[in-house]
Amino acid sequence: MLIIVFVIISCEARLIVPNYHWVLLIILGIGTLYPFLFSLAVLLSKALQIPYGDAMALGYSVTAKNHAITIALAMTSFGGGIAALPAAVAPVVQIPIMLTALQLSDRIKGFLRR
């Protein structure tokens, strides 16, 4: 997937560089959305009394979307590489969010047990 992201960003560099503010806005939006979705999954798991392992699986599956399909749909539907930019930028934000969730897993486990 990272190769696909690299190719898309490389091919569209002449559009991305002059419009870098788009990338910053996309990062801001995704950086807000994914922690919200993960938190919502954990809160829902607590409300439904889902076990810790299943709750974390739910949280990761909500946060770690498969963007390869999104990139392909954007490219075919909108006919340009810049349409796939949000899906291409998402892994740059996803990985730190997933690592943060992993580091907070002990706290999340304690929260789910209360």
Query: How distant, in Å, are the alpha carbons of 14, 31, 83 from that of 28?
Result: 22, 5, 17
Three-class SS state of 104: coil
Name the residue with higher pLDDT: 34 or 3. 34
Rounded Cα distance, 87 and 110, in Å: 33
Which residue, among 86, 98, 108, has the nearest Cα to 5 in the 3D structure? 86
Query: How distant, in Å, are the alpha carbons of 31, 33, 86, 103 from that of 27?
Result: 6, 10, 8, 21
Please say if the pLDDT value at position 88 is more than 90: no
Longest dimension (CA), the chain: 52
Q: pLDDT digit string (tens) for 39-83? A: 999 999 999 999 999 999 998 888 877 666 666 677 777 766 667
